[in-house]
Amino acid sequence: MQFTRAEEYGIMGIIYLAKQDGNRAVPLSEIAEEQGIPEKFLAKIFQNLTKTGLVRSHRGVKGGFTIGKRPESITMKEVVETIQGPYRLIRCLYDKECCEKYINCPIRTVLEEAEGELLKVFGKYRISDLARMKWEKRKS
């Protein structure tokens, strides 16, 4: 399991929106440039975030994106799972049929605990918390 670029970029993009004046739709090109993210990749990520209402899309000359909910109400877990789906460390934690050793597997118990702790941490941090933390611009 590895934190994906899509997850990282989605979080960075939504944090950027959280720091902006909510009355201004921010062009995707601005977000991509300021955060050092490929614009086409960010567009795909923002499609998912728009579908769930975490981000709002505005069309027209002054179009762009705004944050869809209050930053205090959006968890890191919600953003990650919107982009990738339910977060799982290993398949057997959600698909008992994938392994014949499922019932007596000592590894599954440890991974189940680790997954639970990871999801607690992701659920603990809100976009507003992350927006207050210091972020450095990524060098291309």
Sequence-ordered alpha helix ranges (H) in the chain: 5-18, 28-35, 39-51, 76-84, 106-124, 127-132
pLDDT recorded at residue 106: 81
107-140 burial code (b ≥16 CB/10 A, e <16): ebeebeeebeeebeebeebbbeebbeeeeeeeee
Profile the chain (140 residues) by mean pLDDT over runs of 10 residues.
88 95 90 96 96 94 93 96 86 73 77 91 95 64
The backbone region for 86, taken as left when phi is positive above 0, alpha when psi lies in -120 to 50, beta otherwise, is: beta
pLDDT, tens only, 85-124 = 888 877 777 777 777 776 678 888 888 899 899 999 999 9
Name the residue among 61, 62, 58 with its Cα closest to residue 50. 58
CATH of span 5-86+126-132? 1.10.10.10
Residue with tokens 């605990």: 113
pLDDT recorded at residue 133: 86
Bridge partners (DSSP) of residue 26 are 65
Cβ neighbours of 77 (radius 10 Å)? 18
pLDDT recorded at residue 134: 64
Largest CA distance in the chain: 60
Domain ranges of the chain: 5-86+126-132
Residue with tokens 């934190």: 3
Cβ neighbours of 19 (radius 10 Å)? 16
